[in-house]
């Protein structure tokens, strides 16, 4: 039985790229339903609102996204989850990681990180993810065996962010792999994104921590997501191992682009589901449009 999910952010309405992603997750769950018969073990397609970017979230987008999915015929199981309801779960996961000694407080401002990075012209070139930006230069990383709690704030801010010490974490877990839907075992590169933030100053969690905790709590067996999140999957597998959470199977799908080959984003209003629907298109026509759009 496959349990899949779609995890949109309620910071805008869905566009064709989201529809593509949601359809893949929906189809994966429904496949098993068909195979087992109506009364057998059924796949489940779950929803989760990634709303920790609370300043960009708008209340009307929660219902708007549900409306888009309903209209597309992508019906989900159970009540959608909201990450803002789950902050205590993220806090306790963070406590566990603290006890393991694999996270440290970081008092750097964005500006400080940028100027540090600018000075490190010889810094090893690592990929930047759209979630995290360039890898953190390690300013607040504990240098020796001193416990992380003794790190000193470099500014007047009293609430730190918490970062993963990716090298320490990798030492603790040993070599790891993650499994793809085609049966491949991909070796985890723990330092692929550097010491990512696991708890932001403002909300006490981050995309990486929240998604790992929630995928386990919702019992997600198959994670279907865009290829842009492939680097993040390395970090997520590491966190699953540290937190003794189950290991899901991953499918990284292509990204839908516009005619000029640029990845679809919220600003592509003309390709928003709600806009296309208002123009009189039917869901079948949207699926046809999707098939015709370039993918990368
Ligand atoms: N919210 C993420 C996105 O739309 C997906 C979350 C995930 O797969 O981890 O890109």
Q: If you write DSSP's letter for every residue of 182-194 in order, what string do you get?
A: TS-EEEP-TTTT-
| Protein residue closest via CA to atom 3 of ligand 1 | 8
| Protein residue closest via CA to atom 9 of ligand 1 | 211
H or E stretch at 212: helix 207-217
Buried b / exposed e along 208-231 (16+ C-beta atoms within 10 A): bbbbbbbbbebebbbbbbbeebbb
Cβ(50) – ligand 1 distance below 6 Å? yes
Q: Is the pLDDT of residue 271 over 90?
A: no
Q: How far is CA 244 from the centre of its chain?
A: 19
Pocket test for ligand 1, best of 229, 234, 236, 248 (most atoms within 8 A of CB): 229
| Residue-wise pLDDT tens digits, 200-246 | 999 999 999 999 999 999 999 999 999 999 999 999 999 999 999 99
Cβ(229) – ligand 1 distance below 6 Å? yes
pLDDT at position 31, please? 85
Please indicate whether residue 147 or residue 102 has the higher confidence score (pLDDT). 102
| Protein residue closest via CA to atom 6 of ligand 1 | 7
Q: Which fold has domain 3-83+254-292?
A: Rossmann fold (3.40.50)
What's the whole-number mean pLDDT along residues 43-67?
97
Q: How far is the CA of 60 from the centre of ligand 1 (A)?
A: 20
Q: Which is the closest atom of ligand 1 to the Cα of 236?
A: 9
- For domain 88-199, the CATH architecture is Alpha-Beta Complex (3.90)
Q: Is the pLDDT of residue 147 over 80?
A: no
Q: What are the boundaries of each domain within the chain?
A: 3-83+254-292, 88-199
| Protein residue closest via CA to atom 5 of ligand 1 | 7
Query: Could you tell me which of 145, 146, 186, 194 has the C-alpha nearest to residue 169?
Result: 194
| Residue-wise pLDDT tens digits, 22-51 | 999 999 999 865 555 554 567 999 999 999
Mean residue pLDDT of the chain comes to: 91
The pTM (predicted TM-score) of the whole model is 0.91
Tell the burial category of 125 from Cβ atoms under 10 Å away from its Cβ (0-12, 13-18, 19+): exposed
């Amino acid at each position: 039985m496959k349990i899949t999910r779609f995890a949109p952010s309620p910071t805008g309405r869905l566009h064709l790229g989201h529809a593509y992603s949601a359809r893949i997750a929906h189809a994966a769950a429904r496949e098993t339903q068909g195979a087992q018969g109506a009364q057998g073990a059924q796949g489940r397609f779950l929803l989760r609102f990634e709303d920790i970017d609370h300043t960009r979230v708008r209340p009307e987008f929660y219902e708007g996204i549900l409306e888009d999915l309903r209209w597309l015929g992508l019906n989900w199981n159970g009540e959608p989850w909201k990450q803002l309801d789950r902050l205590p779960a993220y806090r306790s996961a963070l406590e566990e990681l603290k006890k393991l000694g694999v996270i440290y407080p970081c008092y750097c401002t964005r500006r400080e990180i940028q100027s540090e990075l600018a000075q490190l012209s010889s810094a090893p070139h690592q990929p930047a993810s759209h979630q995290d930006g360039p890898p953190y230069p390690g300013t607040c990383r504990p240098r020796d065996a001193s416990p992380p709690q003794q790190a000193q704030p470099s500014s007047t801010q009293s609430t730190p962010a918490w970062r993963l010490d990716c090298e320490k974490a990798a030492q603790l877990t040993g070599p790891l792999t993650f499994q793809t839907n085609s049966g491949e075992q991909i070796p985890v590169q723990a330092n692929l994104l550097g010491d990512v933030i696991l708890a932001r100053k403002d909300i006490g969690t981050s995309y990486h921590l929240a998604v790992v905790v929630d995928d386990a709590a919702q019992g997600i067996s198959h994670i279907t997501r865009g290829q842009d999140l492939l680097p993040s999957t390395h970090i997520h597998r590491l966190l699953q191992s540290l937190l003794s959470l189950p290991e899901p199977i991953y499918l990284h799908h292509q990204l839908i682009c516009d005619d000029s080959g640029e990845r679809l984003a919220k600003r592509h209003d003309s390709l928003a589901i709600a806009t296309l629907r208002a123009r009189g298109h039917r869901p079948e026509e949207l699926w046809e449009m999707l098939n015709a759009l370039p993918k990368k």
